[in-house]
Amino acid sequence: MSSSFGNRLRVQLFGESHGKAVGAVIDAPPPGEAVDEKELLRFLERRRPGRSPLMSSRNETDYPVFLSGLYEGHTTGTPLTVIMENADARPDSYAGLFSVPRPGHADYAAAVRYQGAADMRGGGHFSARLTAPFCAAGGIALQILERRGIFIGSHIAEIDSVADDPFPLVPDAELFHALADKEIPVLNDEAGRLMKQSILGARSAGDSVGGIVECAAVGFPAGLGSPRFEGADSRIASVLFGIPAVKGVEFGAGFEASRMRGSQNNDPFIVRDGRILTSKNDAGGILGGITTGMPIIVRAAFKPTPSISIPQTTVDLSSMQPAEITLSGRHDPCVVPRAVPVVEAAVALVLLDMLLEG
Amino acid sequence: MSSSFGNRLRVQLFGESHGKAVGAVIDAPPPGEAVDEKELLRFLERRRPGRSPLMSSRNETDYPVFLSGLYEGHTTGTPLTVIMENADARPDSYAGLFSVPRPGHADYAAAVRYQGAADMRGGGHFSARLTAPFCAAGGIALQILERRGIFIGSHIAEIDSVADDPFPLVPDAELFHALADKEIPVLNDEAGRLMKQSILGARSAGDSVGGIVECAAVGFPAGLGSPRFEGADSRIASVLFGIPAVKGVEFGAGFEASRMRGSQNNDPFIVRDGRILTSKNDAGGILGGITTGMPIIVRAAFKPTPSISIPQTTVDLSSMQPAEITLSGRHDPCVVPRAVPVVEAAVALVLLDMLLEG
Amino acid sequence: MSSSFGNRLRVQLFGESHGKAVGAVIDAPPPGEAVDEKELLRFLERRRPGRSPLMSSRNETDYPVFLSGLYEGHTTGTPLTVIMENADARPDSYAGLFSVPRPGHADYAAAVRYQGAADMRGGGHFSARLTAPFCAAGGIALQILERRGIFIGSHIAEIDSVADDPFPLVPDAELFHALADKEIPVLNDEAGRLMKQSILGARSAGDSVGGIVECAAVGFPAGLGSPRFEGADSRIASVLFGIPAVKGVEFGAGFEASRMRGSQNNDPFIVRDGRILTSKNDAGGILGGITTGMPIIVRAAFKPTPSISIPQTTVDLSSMQPAEITLSGRHDPCVVPRAVPVVEAAVALVLLDMLLEG
Amino acid sequence: MSSSFGNRLRVQLFGESHGKAVGAVIDAPPPGEAVDEKELLRFLERRRPGRSPLMSSRNETDYPVFLSGLYEGHTTGTPLTVIMENADARPDSYAGLFSVPRPGHADYAAAVRYQGAADMRGGGHFSARLTAPFCAAGGIALQILERRGIFIGSHIAEIDSVADDPFPLVPDAELFHALADKEIPVLNDEAGRLMKQSILGARSAGDSVGGIVECAAVGFPAGLGSPRFEGADSRIASVLFGIPAVKGVEFGAGFEASRMRGSQNNDPFIVRDGRILTSKNDAGGILGGITTGMPIIVRAAFKPTPSISIPQTTVDLSSMQPAEITLSGRHDPCVVPRAVPVVEAAVALVLLDMLLEG
């Protein structure tokens, strides 16, 4: 077993970048939930390549085809399968690459793991292309959560050391929608302008940059999740590290919490309108693995895209001799803008699973 | 299900801080593996409280009693159960606390989750006391791994913003043993001295500090782990977030990778003595969820101990009125020194599971 | 992973027949559920050995000690651990046995599986002794189910070809209690008398007999379980085959259904008091893996106890020469009377898991 | 989660009888395994409808389309997805059926479970149509097992009380192939003739008959599987009960063992050519959940097809009034002949999973 996760709501990904199709099975969403395809397409559009110079020019319609589990616009409650055909696959771009692993990619690790049998064209099953069906699954989860008053949104917290402003203590759906509409989803548009500049600069240098996505979930009830290894943080982190290029995950104050004193970091409990809240949220809405009712705040750090057109040092596995590699395909100079909905999809799928578990 | 993890090697924790005993079931270690109890006790000693002014004065012998799965000094291959009696439980210290949740603790979240039924004396099942049997399980895993040439060690990378020197590219068992023998396991003892000062300062102020543990695993083969959600990073992170007070996890360059360019962050492949290595290790030994054969490098950020004796604002849940709380129990002013073997235990258990899965 | 099962409610067994203790972890029962220890002891008493000439003379008090998860008589909602010490272990009876596998026992299979490292005294982890903590877990589940109007009871349907009368279409709690009070829990006491005779006859011949336990669960709601491999039947069968000596499992008409015509076997739907029922129950309360609201009816076939004092042909593994074995320990001439509550425990644990999953 | 199973090799089914496609994801087969499509089609042909008057006239080509995980004729080691389009779906045949549950079908149970939202045309996700992709998965497993000297085959042990001869103690691949080539795969062709007569008789009466499939796996090593709930028997049974119409499962002597004495039922160990065998195999190759190295023998009891054209009593759920139903679709008068490869697929998938776990 590998490319699946979830307890009550299990998501199974499949497909390779240049194979016939990529897809996901969700086993199983609650029955009778409407799936608004237009809204889903809007969500998928945020991840789709080929829309601007900020991203890969690969042209995929990413149109989700439902093979099962959807009937007359509603979930049936049995396994829901969605696939996306690989329309603009160009396997030729990768001919001859496979004995020369690309630095920063899974090529070498996968060659050992699969004894050379994996279809690694374009990264194969390891490709970020798999985040398309992942987002289809997540987009459906988002709709189901929204219907229950739970909203998830994100901004780019940082690209190439340019930082956005922080989220307010309790962001709302309106803010999330405004962010979703932006090319660079940030709170501070001047920061966004600098981020874009940074990406374009890296692109023209044949290089790439990384960044940090911050995601918030509001309206999620207190008291869900389980202690220890089935905690909300364990489960969200585990799925986020399944997104290509994620190298770090933190909740609330995260790494910064390790530099605080207890008296600063602890969130005081308060009462507002008969509900228990905290006056700040350094815990990121999770204590002991269990939700507190405050917004769940998580940040995922993305490394710079490993595919760059600057020559790199590697090894030719067939001769075991040093080699140089220069990548000429269609690559994102920064995965972060397209990764924003992917992070939301991850959080949505875990939270829906937790909610269904009760 | 909550307090368990693992595929082939499943670990189940149980117990409450002031109940009869805490324990772990490992189902199941490979059969016929010697368990060196002296070595195990040495490992557990590193986590034990009451040894110095740096830590809680709670006096627990932490002596592991094996109920099953160990026969004539070897694992049987059937479920191994180890328990530790709670010798120095002082439930009275907590009387009357339970309607007033402690900031930074799971008290409120757990009260909602368990509808008030959980035994929350001393944090109950959420207590760091559970890391004692967790370390017993991890200590056994470490012995099994060492027998296969896989070594795991750690240093404190940071406490209260005081940073240690970095690990060398490939640390070795000797370094790990030297670190394990130190009160403050650091590479740079001057940094260690400052960290200790910082902890004692926080202690005398009735406050607490946090920090970062960096763990390395060397000798682990390339090609293990699975893509996506069963990747080495997903699985290690998921277990680390099950350790109390962990708020962030990163691999290799981690969050710092998000500030690099691709040309800096990618690790060039090289050949040494017929083996494929990378000349640096910003990937932390994992690409696409699969191990590369380079050291696995992971950092866990611990928040400052939430238990402090400075008065804090909270709410009395019985009256729903604001309240003040001052904690007078026996608490660690910094969990990080005692957390070091806990991080090693987590990494060891996940790696052994991956190794057995093949 | 081996000796565990369950999705939401996970049960982990541990222990060996002649080790320190046997036990079970339940992770995790719903919080705040009262555990009536007297009632639990009454349930365990039905499985306890040493009570009559029908069973092994091993004298175990089987007193359940709770290590965690129970506080002031109620479940906490965190992992509940119960152990039973092995008071009357007599490892000497087994000295020298281990190179000569006993026919009908797991000895040889386990020797290969565990490369000789398992503690196989008295069957070790494979011993029916493990059904003691299994019943402790099941007894708690039964109490939780009863509080929700779900009752589980059993009779011996057959021993050594002597058949009991069938259950009525909808048995009730009163009948279940009456059965539980009998030495041979049957509906037709004349059949019970013959069964007892049969067991005593086998005993005096140094031989053993087998039989069939039929279990019914009433009051369980319709619409629970999942299609295919997570169906109520798949899950119950999977746990029943984990009980030593079970060689067959069937639901409703079971194997007999394969000899019927569709027009006979299909259960007509009817309405009674506004509820949908069926006028007979050849489906055993399960269709397509999902409960129908009718009683769940399952039968488990137990082989005759493999431990007999008649000489048997086997092989000495150390010399690979033919050998003869004569077993002189304390054995049940028929496991069926003591297996009745074990079957109930299995059904209770699966049904509670399904109920919690919703 | 529902329609999936397996530990190391996880199989996820999806699809509805009259939806776009049915399919399976296998996550993940060992890498580099050749998939012989011709052989796979031959295997699928044994399950395909529309081939004779013994079965439903639904005409499905059942052609497997691989969406992922297969590259240049070999498994890649990443999730393998196979789908089959529903070519001859005739949803109109089912119009108006859904408020009137068919006796013996999952209709009512599913209506409660999915609150009316499931696509139940033709049984929807509960349809035996799902066994087509299940067989595709199983057929691949069979090829991988055969390459390792493990062969699986079956005969119809019984239809409508007509019994076939028993398997020899150790059947071989030649016998399995001969059986696979028969319309009614039996050892005794006269029994087969009577079975066929019985099926045709039921068919002309608008009725249906059931039967028993006996499956054997030879060449499977001793010492695999785990004690208790992860035993070979638990896992095989759990998957077999996921096949529509299965109401009973037994291993070796099965229910008949419950009528034997221990001295009869125990299988004596013997040595042959330096290997430990048993001189008979009432255990069905499994003791304590672990394989013994003898053939694994399992029988699955299939109820008569619930779809019959004889009028039946039911209830109209919309009016809650009694109703009569007469089914006129294309149905198998006996599912057993087509179920034979389905049982083999189930056994193959579980055994491959166990083999990979080691």
pLDDT for D147-157, tens place per residue?
Answer: 999 999 999 99
Contact A14 D67 (CB under 8 A): yes
User: B251 with B297: CB under 8 angstroms?
Assistant: yes
Which among B8, B78, B227 has CB closest to D357? B8
Contact A357 C8 (CB under 8 A): yes
Order of strands, sheet of C4-5, starting from the edge strand that comes earlier in the sequence: C4-5, C10-15, C21-27, C80-85, C65-68
User: A350 with A295: CB under 8 angstroms?
Assistant: no
Confidence of residue C91 (pLDDT cuts 50, 70, 90): low
Structure tokens at B268: 């060039």
Where do we find the tokens 């008409």? C253
D355 neighbourhood in chain B, CB within 8 Å: none
Q: Which of B20, B74, B81 is the best substitution to test chain C (most C C-beta atoms within 10 A)?
A: B81
Confidence of residue A202 (pLDDT cuts 50, 70, 90): very high
Q: How many domains does chain D have?
A: 1
pTM: 0.97
Q: Which of A18, A81, A86, A121 is the best substitution to test chain D (most D C-beta atoms within 10 A)?
A: A81
Confidence of residue A2 (pLDDT cuts 50, 70, 90): confident
D239 neighbourhood in chain C, CB within 8 Å: 229, 234
Whether the CA torsion D44, D48, D53, D59 is positive or negative: it is: negative
User: D203 with D322: CB under 8 angstroms?
Assistant: no
Cis peptide, bond prior to residue B345, ω within 30 of zero = no
Confidence of residue C64 (pLDDT cuts 50, 70, 90): very high
A357 neighbourhood in chain C, CB within 8 Å: 8, 357
Contact B262 A308 (CB under 8 A): yes
pLDDT value of position B331:
81
Q: Is the pLDDT of residue D218 over 60?
A: yes
Q: How close, in Å, is residue A357 to chain C by CA atoms?
A: 7
pLDDT, mean of residues A348-355: 98
Domain CATH code at residue A121: 3.60.150.10
Which among D67, D113, D115 has CB closest to A23? D67
Contact D8 A1 (CB under 8 A): yes
Average pLDDT, chain C: 94
pLDDT value of position A62:
83
Contact D228 C3 (CB under 8 A): yes
- Residue of B110, B111, B114, B144 lying closest to B39 (CA atoms): B144
The C-alpha atoms of residue A12 and residue A22 are separated, in whole angstroms, by 11
pLDDT, mean of residues B329-340: 90
Which residues touch A324 (CB under 8 Å, ≥6 apart)? Answer: A311, A312, A313, A314
User: What's the one-letter identity of residue C298?
Assistant: V
Q: Which residues, listed in sequence order, are joined to residue C344 by a DSSP beta bridge?
A: none
User: What's the one-letter identity of residue B235?
Assistant: R
Q: Which residue has the higher pLDDT, A116 or C277?
A: C277
Contact D269 C237 (CB under 8 A): no
Which among C231, C271, C314 has CB closest to D241? C231
Alpha helices in chain A (DSSP H): 37-45, 107-113, 131-146, 173-180, 189-204, 232-240, 262-265, 336-357
Q: Which chains touch D (3 or more CB pairs under 8 A)?
A: A, B, C
pLDDT, mean of residues B319-329: 91
C28 neighbourhood in chain A, CB within 8 Å: 226
Residue of chain A whose Cα is closest to the Cα of B287: A106
User: C254 with C284: CB under 8 angstroms?
Assistant: yes
Q: Name the phi and psi angles at A16, rounded to 5.
A: -125, 155
pLDDT value of position B65:
97
pLDDT value of position D42:
96
pLDDT value of position B95:
54
DSSP code of C327? -
Q: Is the pLDDT of residue D58 over 80?
A: no
Confidence of residue D145 (pLDDT cuts 50, 70, 90): very high
Q: Is the pLDDT of residue D1 over 70?
A: no
Q: Which residues, listed in sequence order, are joined to residue A278 by a DSSP beta bridge?
A: A269
Which among A3, A105, A235 has CB closest to B228? A3
- Residue of C205, C229, C249, C254 lying closest to C346 (CA atoms): C249
Contact D8 B357 (CB under 8 A): yes
Q: Is the pLDDT of residue A1 over 70?
A: no
The C-alpha atoms of residue C305 and residue C326 are separated, in whole angstroms, by 14
As for the ipTM of the complex, it is 0.97
Q: Per-residue pLDDT tens for C214-271?
A: 999 999 999 999 998 999 999 999 999 999 999 999 999 999 999 999 999 999 999 9
The C-alpha atoms of residue C108 and residue C100 are separated, in whole angstroms, by 8
pLDDT value of position A96:
56
Contact D357 B78 (CB under 8 A): no
pLDDT value of position C270:
98
pLDDT value of position D2:
78
Q: How far is CA D343 from CA A151, B182, C240, D25, D217, in A?
A: 46, 60, 20, 18, 11
Q: Is the pLDDT of residue D97 over 70?
A: no
Neighbours of A103 (CB within 10 A): 27
The C-alpha atoms of residue D79 and residue A14 are separated, in whole angstroms, by 5
Residue of chain C whose Cα is closest to the Cα of D115: C223
- Residue of B272, D196, A7, A228 lying closest to C6 (CA atoms): A7
Q: What percent of chain A has pLDDT over 90?
A: 88
pLDDT, mean of residues D10-17: 97
Total H helices, total E strands in chain A: 8, 18
Q: In terms of DSSP bridges, do strands C80-85 and C65-68 run parallel, antiparallel, or are they unpaired?
A: antiparallel
Q: Per-residue pLDDT tens for B167-189?
A: 999 999 999 999 999 999 999 99
How many CA atoms within 13 Å lie on the side-chain side of B252? 29
Residue of chain B whose Cα is closest to the Cα of A299: B248
D358 neighbourhood in chain B, CB within 8 Å: 358
Confidence of residue C1 (pLDDT cuts 50, 70, 90): low
pLDDT value of position C190:
98
B79 neighbourhood in chain C, CB within 8 Å: 2-3, 12-15, 125
Q: In terms of DSSP bridges, do strands D4-5 and D65-68 run parallel, antiparallel, or are they unpaired?
A: unpaired
User: What's the one-letter identity of residue D116?
Assistant: G
Q: How close, in Å, is residue C317 to chain D by CA atoms?
A: 9
Neighbours of C318 (CB within 10 A): 10
Q: What percent of chain A has pLDDT over 70?
A: 96
The C-alpha atoms of residue B11 and residue A237 are separated, in whole angstroms, by 19
B8 neighbourhood in chain D, CB within 8 Å: 7-8, 357
Q: Per-residue pLDDT tens for A45-88?
A: 999 877 777 777 767 778 999 999 999 999 999 999 999 998 86
Q: Is the pLDDT of residue D117 over 60?
A: yes
Average pLDDT, chain B: 94
Confidence of residue C97 (pLDDT cuts 50, 70, 90): low
A83 neighbourhood in chain D, CB within 8 Å: 67
Q: Is the pLDDT of residue C93 over 60?
A: no
Axis-axis angle for helices B37-45, B131-146 (nearest 10): 130
pLDDT value of position A49:
76
Q: Which of C8, C12, C76 is the best substitution to test chain A (most A C-beta atoms within 10 A)?
A: C8
The C-alpha atoms of residue C265 and residue C128 are separated, in whole angstroms, by 36
Q: How far is CA D227 from CA C246, D9, D123, D291, in A?
A: 13, 19, 36, 10
Residue A323 structural domain: 4-357
Weakest mean pLDDT among A68-82, B134-148, B243-257, C94-108: C94-108
Confidence of residue A187 (pLDDT cuts 50, 70, 90): very high
pLDDT value of position D93:
58
Q: Name the phi and psi angles at C85, rounded to 5.
A: -70, 150
pLDDT, mean of residues A84-111: 81
User: A278 with A267: CB under 8 angstroms?
Assistant: yes
User: C180 with C305: CB under 8 angstroms?
Assistant: no
pLDDT value of position D221:
98
Where do we find the tokens 């299979």? C109
A114 neighbourhood in chain D, CB within 8 Å: 31-32, 76-78
pLDDT value of position C262:
97
Q: Which of B207, B220, B269, B327 is the best substitution to test chain A (most A C-beta atoms within 10 A)?
A: B269
pLDDT value of position D162:
98
Percent composition of chain B: helix, strand, coil (DSSP 3-state, to 5): 30, 25, 45
Q: Decide: residue A233, CB within 10 A, 0-12 exposed, 13-18 middle, 19+ buried.
A: buried
User: D223 with C117: CB under 8 angstroms?
Assistant: no
Neighbours of B204 (CB within 10 A): 10
C262 neighbourhood in chain D, CB within 8 Å: 104, 202, 207-209, 303-308, 310
Whether the CA torsion C219, C221, C227, C230 is positive or negative: it is: negative
Which among D3, D81, D116 has CB closest to A23? D81
Q: How close, in Å, is residue B28 to chain D by CA atoms?
A: 10
Q: Per-residue pLDDT tens for C77-87?
A: 999 999 999 87
Q: Which of A14, A35, A86 is the best substitution to test chain D (most D C-beta atoms within 10 A)?
A: A14
The string of DSSP codes covering D184-210 is S--SSHHHHHHHHHHHHHHHHTT--B-
pLDDT, mean of residues D39-49: 92
D79 neighbourhood in chain A, CB within 8 Å: 2-3, 12-15, 125
Structure tokens at B95: 């009387």
